[in-house]
Chain A
Amino acid sequence: MQSMKIIGGLAVIVTGALLLRASHDFPDWGDPLSPANDSQTSNYFLENAYVDAKTPNVVTVVLGDYRAFDTMFETVVILTAGLAIFAVLGWTQREDIKDAAVLKAVEENPIIGVTCRLLVPVIQVFALYVLAHGHYSPGGGFQGGVMFGASFIILALGTGLGSALKRFRDTRALVVGAIGVLVYAGIGFLPMFLGDDPGRNFLDYGALKEILPVEKESMARSHAILGIETGVFITVSAVMFAVYFLLASHGRTKDSL
């Protein structure tokens, strides 16, 4: 083990020196005219985001439209993590469910139980608000989805994993997660079949003007961003809970997905 400490120390010294070497070359902190901050991309995003997608939150537009392809794979990363954790931990033989002590409902504690019952709906409504209001304020599919998933985790912490699983069947969690990605990719696919042959590019939401009741492409983009954020929301909340119950129960929940 001593040798690992030496290797680690050497790695830290070499990398640290390398990184410090470049740091004096960086622009000052908070410099509005640094190459990154005054770049073509950054200025274009700030000036055109509202014109292009009728959404004041520039981050949402960049996330959901200009770089929507990144965001789609980000959702896939979450789904992949859920799937991989299931593949690593998931325990599919029914005999093992019986001795999984974690699944037995914990002793009902009235204070905790009542608090959870009161808290969960509030969290879930707020999560939906964060999702829907992501166009105007900090928020969006990821943040809302994490909150929504957290509401189930609170339920599991307060009233036992078994009672949370009664409300959100573990067998469904990853299927729901896959549906979220499907919603995202589906909205991305639609433009390929709209417009003149050969259709618009993947994720080019402007084409959705033809099927949405809107006048301008920018409004179509705005709605499409909400659509894909919903897909993200579904995936994130389902996989959050799936990861929690798989890790908490050592993978010994019920069979299959």
Chain B
Amino acid sequence: MSFVSRGFKGRRRDDVPPERIPPGQHATRDFPVLSAGPTPHTPLSDWTFEITGEVAEPRRWTWEEFRALPSEELTTDIHCVTTWSKLDTVWEGVSVDTLLAEVETDAEYVTAFCDGGYTTNLPIEDVTDGKAWVAFAYDGEPLDPEHGGPVRLLVPHLYFWKSAKWVRGLRLTADDEPGFWETLGYHMRGDPWQEQRYWGD
């Protein structure tokens, strides 16, 4: 039995339309920093982004090449499995469609891999058709290292652990290969609107 503490409210926003908040979530004004390890700092001169794995030929971009790609700005809501949601966040990034257009593949899944060793897996249809970006700016500024800078994967329609920080590439795979949290109880797909947080959800 849980026990109510008089007057405790927390710091949640209560001024948001409920239909924008998935089940079990609450809105916050903050942007909490979540991390499984120390913040990596790769010099941009050493930085590359790769698409590898089940592709006819792997493709790699340097920072300059990556930043020369067409990019777009988007405003979206994000939902963290730890129950906070943040509405109307503004990002700028390169669509994953733009990157995948440069490779040939039949793969059905991708694994994002990152500085620091973090990985996460997604079905390819969850990162194509305008659903995912490799984001380099947040709120009009270059993405902060603690939030995943220089770039992070951005897949806002899924729980935010799929929006891998410090992403360095996508490995295309024939099978769905569980990543860092997916091997420890977290759902393989992670749709917040179906509350797919853990195995069996």
On whether the two chains bind one another, the answer is no
Which residues of B are at the interface with A, using a C-beta cutoff of 8 A?
none
